[in-house]
Amino acid sequence: MCLLLRKLKSITLKTLRSRRHRALCATLIEARKLAGLSQHELASRVKTSQTVIARIEIGERRIDVIEFLDLARALRVDPREILTQLME
């Protein structure tokens, strides 16, 4: 494996288990529960599977910006508030 790929893999693993990533997962879980949604119902709203939502919530899968915005919209939360909390 080339040096660049090893470096990228290392960065991905570090951010996947970072404090901010765990905080994002916890915030998404809290928002889902406050919205009164099951993982299956949230998955249906964002047109994905319950398995994907579960993997996001337990921190096994990162989300990109577009997925984050879609999840925030489905949960009826302001994505800016979540990002502000993560930046503190």
| pLDDT per position as a tens digit, 38-74 | 999 999 999 999 999 999 999 999 999 999 999 999 9
Amino acid of residue 32: R
Residue 17: what pLDDT? 78
CA distance 9 to 12: 5
For the chain, the domain total comes to: 1
How confident is residue 10, by pLDDT bands cut at 50, 70 and 90?
Answer: low
Between CA 78 and CA 34 the distance in angstroms is 14
Give a yes or no: residue 52 inside a domain. yes
Q: Is 62 helix (H, G, I), strand (E, B) or coil?
A: coil
Nearest to residue 39, comparing CAs of 31, 47, 51? Answer: 51
Rounded Cα distance between 67 and 24, Å, is 13
Distance of alpha carbon 18 from alpha carbon 53, whole angstroms: 19
Range of the domain at 63: 16-87
pLDDT digits (tens, 9 = 90+) for 24-41: 999 999 999 999 999 999
Query: What are the structure tokens assigned to 39, written together?
Result: 């993982």
**pTM of this prediction exceeds 0.75:** yes
CATH number of the domain bearing residue 58: 1.10.260.40
